[in-house]
Chains A and B, each alone.
Chain A
Amino acid sequence: MPKASVTFEDIGVTVTVPAGTRLIEVSEKVGAGITYGCREGECGTCMMKIVAGSENLAQPSVLEHQVLSDNLAPRAARLACQAQVLGGEIVVRPG
């Protein structure tokens, strides 16, 4: 299975993960500061900033787009509970 690396800037940890992993799964396990609420892409609590490698994440769904828009999210923001890793290197920090 293809691998990817996700770096959580706020705690200085890089995690190697299989493609298809959602960022919230990694964030929780590593203890990064990305917080979560509903985990279903509705509340916007897990909004994070993609510092680098946004092209290595699956495109946001219509629902995720709507929630980001409702929360006046900046362009580099994604929801950790929705964003799936495709491969390559990704750098994130709490939004």
Chain B
Amino acid sequence: MSHPSVVVPGAPVELASGVHWIGALDPGMRRFDIVLNTANGTTYNAYAVRGERGVAIIDTVKIEFADEFFARLEQVCSYDEIRVIVLNHLEPDHSGALPELMRRAPRAELVLSQRAPAILKALVRELGTEPEYTPVGDGDAVDLGGRRLAFVHTPYLHWPDTQCTWLEDEGMLFSGDVFGCHFCDDRLWNDTVGDFRFSFDYYYQHIMRPFRSFVLEALDKLELLAPRVILPAHGPLLRSRPRDYMARYRRLATPELGSGGDEKTLLVFYVSAYGNTARMARAVAEGAEQVSKLRVSLFDLQMSDVGQFVDLIEEADGMAFGSPTLNADAVKPVWDLLSSLTLVSVKGKFGAAFGSYGWSGEAVGLVEDRMRGLKMRVPVKGLKVKLNPTEDDLERCRELGRELGAHVTGTARRRVVDIAELA
């Protein structure tokens, strides 16, 4: 297939008067950041904005593409014209050429978000000196002479340092990774490239989804700007119907499965070899169901798809995981689910573990550790039972369910313990 490319080797692409794309195409890339696949590569979008008093460079590229970036930059301006370097996000695919750019444009002011300096120090160690920079936030702006770049603080999209830059006179939003995707097409503009809807959603699901509360906070600010063009740091440039992409983000980030009102949700997952952990799981659920305003669901992990459970967990307030111990470990279906939870935010949710075992019962402690590692709260001591649970054991399971349910619904009684009891 051949089509007219707007990207020519060594040449910038003019986006508006005095605004150029000076990034790089990476059509050969197939896996990004270990976890993201891409069927046709990606782009590293960097930009130059010229005012009467100088030029601003917004973002750079991955270091392997620095030559391409500098070749395009040199067609737009000389290094001594560069007044400002703005980094919307310091991840290496956007800051790879930064140390060399700072060497070539030593008089340029480096402008970063207020959360970026700690990351910057680690990135530019090769300069050998502490870089000077100007931290900016909401309300700050740089006057380029006849046009202003204003900054919008949008943290955790998807690093603490992320921000957006707003070119008011053109209605252009330089959004960093937000509204980006891994999709390489040398026609650049969203109304001329191929169909990238899947890539757009896929990027959100893998990069932004764990930070959806921050996405919604950022959208509250960015929608007010009503940008005419959104210029992300990866993928197509969004000049056609840019608000549709904001609306898509809002829909993706808005909770859909929440029960509403003051009802909370608790999910009880289990895997069982001989039915013992299954009986414990049913008892945990029975206990939890005694807690008012708590919706309890019970799931056998062996019979279902992990992806669906990740969606449920994203909306849930609490989870209990039941695993037998096999060879001193929790079982694979439990780990498969627990290792999939980096896609969503579970920070602060309540969790508990339980399970039957034959010899040593390590699974419960290992699952508790994983939940703590996921930044969940694990306030109820896990429960392990050797082989067949007795009626007393099942009552302890019901008590675990009741206690966990009380924490989830905010009705747990206050208690005082000695640290020695917590071992």
Contacts and interface: CB of A to CB of B under 8 A. Distances in A.
Interface of A: 5, 10-18, 21, 25-26, 28-33, 35, 70-72, 94
7 contacts: A15-B422, A16-B417, A31-B372, A33-B347, A33-B377, A35-B347, A70-B117
Contact of B379 (A14, A31, A72, A94): A31
Nearest to A18: B419
B345 to A, nearest CB: 12
Given A31-B372, A72-B114, A12 B377 contact: no
A11 B412 contact: yes
A10 B377 contact: yes
Contact of A12 (B412, B418, B419): B412
A25 B422 CA distance: 11
Closest 6 CB pairs of A and B: A31-B378, A35-B375, A29-B422, A31-B379, A70-B118, A12-B414
A8 to B, nearest CB: 9
B3 interface: no
Interface string B290-320: 0000000000000000000000000000000
B34 interface: no
A12 B415 contact: yes
Nearest to B377: A33
B380 A15 contact: no
Chain B CB count within 10 A is highest, among A16, A25, A30, for A30
Contacts of B419: 15-18, 21, 25-26, 29
Nearest to A14: B416
Interface of B: 114-115, 117-118, 160, 347-348, 372, 375-380, 407, 412-419, 422-423
A13 B114 contact: no
Given A30-B422, A33-B348, A11 B417 contact: no
Contacts of B414: 12-14
A30 B381 CA distance: 8
Contact of B415 (A14, A21, A26): A14
Given A30-B379, A32-B379, A12 B413 contact: yes
B375 A15 contact: no
Nearest to B417: A15
Nearest to B348: A33
A54 B291 CA distance: 36
A64 B415 CA distance: 31
A86 to B, nearest CB: 16
Contacts of A30: 379, 417, 422
B135 to A, nearest CB: 9
Nearest to B119: A70
A30 B348 CA distance: 14
Nearest to A11: B379
Given A33-B376, A33-B377, 15 more contacts: A5-B416, A13-B415, A15-B417, A15-B419, A16-B417, A29-B419, A30-B422, A31-B377, A31-B378, A32-B379, A33-B347, A33-B375, A71-B160, A72-B114, A72-B115
